[in-house]
Amino acid sequence: MSNKITQRDRVLQFIRENGSITSWQAYTEIGCTQLATRISELKERGYEFTKTRVKAKNRYGDKTHYDEYRLVEG
């Protein structure tokens, strides 16, 4: 049996340590390029998340938006 830490495990750990995660954080911090897929897989396993649409500007000053996920624990 393998004890390999999965991206799902890393996503959960990151959220628990930092409160939330965005796709950019997932990519740069844990090497996960498909955060929405990992969140969907975690939901299938019984975890619940809130998703907030965050509005921001990119480095060129253009308006952009991204999702921020938080784990609902309770």
Asked if residues 26 and 37 have their Cβ atoms less than 8 Å apart, the reply is no
**Mean pLDDT within 55-69:** 95
Asked if residues 64 and 58 have their Cβ atoms less than 8 Å apart, the reply is yes
Beta bridge pairs of residue 56: 64
Six token digits for residue 55:
């509005």
Q: According to the model, what pLDDT value does residue 2 have?
A: 66
In residues, how long is the chain? 74
Mean pLDDT of the chain: 94
Q: According to the model, what pLDDT value does residue 3 have?
A: 82
Q: According to the model, what pLDDT value does residue 73 have?
A: 84
pLDDT tens-digit map of 12-48: 999 999 999 999 999 999 999 999 999 999 999 999 9
